[in-house]
Amino acid sequence: MKRTMSINRVSILTLLLGSLLMVNSCKNDLEINAPYDAKPIVYALLNPYDSIQYIKVVKSFLGEENPETYAGIADSSQFNTVEGYVDEYLDGVKINTYPLQATQLNNKKPGIFASPNQTLYTFKTNLVSGTATYLNTNSEFEIRAKLNGTIDINSRTKMIVDAPSFFYQQSVRQQLWKKPGNTKSQGTIKFASSSQMLEGLKLEAELPVNCKMAKMKMIFYYKEILTGPNGCTEELKSIEYDMGTITVTDPNKLNKENFAITSERFFEKISNGMLDAGDVPNFYRRVADRCDFEIIMGDDDFYSYIQVTKPSDDLNQNKPQFSNIENGFGIFGCRIITRLSQQTLRVNYEDLSGLLDSHTQNELITGALGGGTGAKGFCMDPEIAAGSSYGSLKCEQCK
């Protein structure tokens, strides 16, 4: 399968904008409405843990107006007909063919291209027997399509092998949330002791075969409770923490990598990321909730695509552009985005919430160790407080 350094959609738009500026200054030198070939741009990242796969197919465009004007008109960037299929191969033998179905969505955020309505091409699969995936991670997948009846495109990709199983099933990960035989949450995510800040939290994850890059983040949830004429209202809010991005040297084997967050950064983001209790109208209290962990993994093609399309500080840099689409531009690869709390860790475990331990929650309440959160109005979670030395501790709002 061809891997080329080509032009992505952003580069195409930049090129067209530059061409338009040249036309305005020298109108007799170039006829911009001369015949041209529409170039397909494909963006498809398969996720074996999703039951529906989404594929974006658009075309390059040219006209007398500003290119951004045409980009905002759906007809200018869409093909009239798209007849496409995704074939599944196992050990070199085709075992399934999935026709692509045109799907209209109305939730696209405003940007260069038309919104909020957009056309995506989808195919749906069933759960693979004996697994938690909807695509067999041992298979290869090939997209092939005929656009406007004349343009043929294709590309082929492998899956990241059994990705979340390495993340979910490691015993060290289980110990963060559960004790063997106990189906209730244990408050065991620790950023503080009774007398000092701890180093922080470090997670070791085994990155599976075909994973070239991985990024992890922690999402800390808390409940904000306000008073009102009809009683209290409760809203679940969150703060995200980047735990690092890893580039894998050899994606053809398993790799163990560490992701981490320091205690200082945990408390600092809370201190800087929310108003003091006294500055929130009708404030009653805040209560720490769970911590989720999200991991994003991409294959080698996705890594290459990201590297060459990310912004550069060097305006003079002439960056190559990656594409693995035959007779087109873009990316057909594998990317997995999944959260630790969304799938079963063990069959008999009911709840995957990772709760902060009592010492960490005490520091949220008091800020006595320098966390800077004493004015945020946190209260101890009653389930964590029960049986701990903080069982009778109450914040100012609850005294």
Note the pLDDT tens digit of each residue in 360-369: 989 999 999 9
- Note whether 113 and 133 are same-domain residues: yes
95 and 231 share one domain = no
Q: What is the dihedral of CA 385, 356, 226, 294, to 10 degrees?
A: -150
Check whether residue 196 and residue 239 sit in a common domain.
Answer: yes
Higher pLDDT, 174 or 203: 203
- Asked if residue 52 belongs to a domain, the reply is yes
Higher-scoring residue by pLDDT: 18, 55: 55
pLDDT confidence of 204, banded at 50, 70, 90?
A: confident
96 shares a domain with 54 = yes
> Does residue 335 sit in helix, strand or coil?
strand
Question: What's residue 36's pLDDT?
Answer: 59
Confidence of residue 348 (pLDDT cuts 50, 70, 90): very low
The percent of residues above 90 in pLDDT, for the chain, comes to 47
pLDDT for residue 13 is more than 50: no
Taking residues 243-254, report their average pLDDT.
94
Please return the burial class of 235, using the count of CB atoms within 10 Å of its CB with bins 0-12, 13-18 and 19+. exposed
Contact 156, 88 (CB under 8 A): no
Average pLDDT over residues 107-133: 81
Query: What CATH number does the domain containing 137 carry?
Result: 2.60.40
% of the chain exceeding 70 in pLDDT: 68
Say how many domains are in the chain: 2
Q: What is the pLDDT of residues 26-54, one digit of tens each?
A: 444 444 455 556 788 899 999 998 999 99
Distance between CA atoms of residues 343 and 155, nearest Å: 31
Nearest CA to 30 out of 62, 78, 61 is that of: 62
Give the least confident one: 89-98, 141-150, 319-328, 378-387: 378-387
Query: What is the reported pLDDT for 59?
Result: 86
- Range picked from 60-64, 266-270, 329-333 for highest mean pLDDT: 266-270
Same structural domain, 139 and 191: no
- From the number of C-beta atoms within 10 Å of its C-beta (0-12, 13-18, 19+), residue 184 rates as exposed
pLDDT over 60 at 69, yes or no: no
pLDDT recorded at residue 39:
83
Q: Are residues 184 and 117 in the same domain?
A: no
Higher pLDDT among residues 315 and 344, named by residue: 315
Same domain, 257 and 144: no
Measured CA angle at 386 (ends 383, 360), to 5 deg:
70
Mean of pLDDT values over 120-124: 96
- Whether the CB-CB separation of 378 and 276 falls below 8 Å is answered with no
**Residue 393, domain member (yes or no):** no
> Based on the domain organization, do 143 and 255 belong to the same domain?
no
Query: What is the C-alpha separation between 100 and 13, in angstroms, rounded?
Result: 27
pLDDT of residue 384: 59
Residue 319 lies in a domain: no
Residue pointed to by tokens 């909020």: 116
Residues 205 and 147 in one domain: no
Rg of the chain taking only CA atoms, in angstroms: 26
pLDDT (mean) for 290-302: 89
The last residue of a domain, from among 110, 144, 159 = 159
Identify whether 29 is part of a domain.
Answer: yes
Average pLDDT over residues 298-316: 79
**327 inside domain:** no
pLDDT the model gives residue 392:
52
Boundary residue ending a domain (127, 159, 191): 159
- Kindly state whether residues 236 and 370 are assigned to the same domain: yes
pLDDT band at 25 (very low <50, low <70, confident <90, very high): very low
* Mean pLDDT across the chain: 78
Beta-bridge mates of residue 355:
290
Within a domain: 313: no
pLDDT of residue 318: 58
Shared domain check, 219 and 144 = no
Of 21-30, 39-48, 229-238, the poorest mean pLDDT is in: 21-30
In a shared domain, residues 104 and 155: yes
Statement: residue 302 has pLDDT above 50: yes
Examine residue 250 and state whether it is found in any structural domain, yes or no: yes
Domain that holds residue 72: 4-159
Closest CA to 365 of 381, 379, 384: 379
Average pLDDT estimate for 221-225? 94
Q: Does any domain span residue 128?
A: yes
Contact between residue 332 and residue 305 where contact means Cβ atoms under 8 Å apart: no
| pLDDT tens track for 144-185 | 999 999 999 999 999 998 655 545 444 444 444 444 445 444
Q: What is the pTM of this model?
A: 0.74
Residue-level pLDDT at 51 = 93
Helix (H) or strand (E) holding 385: helix 382-385
Mean pLDDT of 193-218: 90
Residues 6+ apart with CB under 8 A from 376: 270, 271, 274, 276, 277, 286, 364
Domain boundary among 123, 139, 159: 159
3-state secondary structure of 255: strand
